């Protein structure tokens, strides 16, 4: 009797369990864009760590003023954040965004070229 009850409780809880995923909403994107625009690498890193996300997983989903994070950092003259992003993103992503970086920031272009080599 106890075994049947215990087994049914375990099965019921297993079917009703849904893993919590990061609900990527506008407030998270807004906060990230805010930190990029003011070039605050320390707070951005702390915020990402607190929310248990990394740059690679959010890069394609976050748009700031219609631009991706790397492009937005270059246009906002956020050099510290730009260097951080270039270091954390895959080389392929950096090379795909190199043309946009070249238009907006000579410093980040130099860092991106060093990363690609």
Classify 82 in phi/psi space as left (phi over 0), alpha (psi -120 to 50) or beta.
Answer: alpha
Helix 41-50 to helix 79-88 angle (10° resolution) is 40
Residue 90, H or E segment: none
Which pLDDT value is given to residue 26?
A: 79
pLDDT digits (tens, 9 = 90+) for 76-97: 999 999 999 999 999 999 999 9
Which pLDDT value is given to residue 20?
A: 37
Which pLDDT value is given to residue 71?
A: 95
Tokens of 113: 């070229």
Instruction: Give the residue extent of every domain in the chain.
Output: 22-116
How much is the pTM? Answer: 0.76
State how far the Cα of 46 lies from the Cα of 52, in Å rounded to an integer.
10
Confidence of residue 111 (pLDDT cuts 50, 70, 90): very high
pLDDT digits (tens, 9 = 90+) for 30-71: 999 999 999 999 999 999 999 999 999 999 999 999 999 999
Half-sphere exposure of 73 (CA within 13 A, CB side): 30
Q: Nearest Cα to 51, choosing from 35, 69, 67, 63?
A: 35
């Amino acid at each position: 009797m106890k075994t049947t009850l215990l087994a049914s409780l375990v099965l019921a809880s297993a079917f009703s369990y849904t893993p919590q995923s990061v609900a990527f909403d506008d407030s998270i994107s807004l906060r990230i864009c805010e930190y990029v625009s003011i070039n605050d690498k320390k707070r951005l890193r702390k915020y990402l760590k607190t929310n248990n996300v990394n740059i690679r997983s959010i890069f394609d989903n976050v748009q700031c003023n219609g631009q991706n994070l790397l492009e937005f950092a270059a246009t906002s003259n956020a050099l510290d954040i730009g260097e951080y992003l270039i270091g954390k993103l895959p080389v392929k992503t950096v090379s795909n965004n190199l043309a946009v970086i070249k238009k907006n920031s000579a410093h980040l272009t130099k860092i991106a070229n060093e990363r690609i080599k």
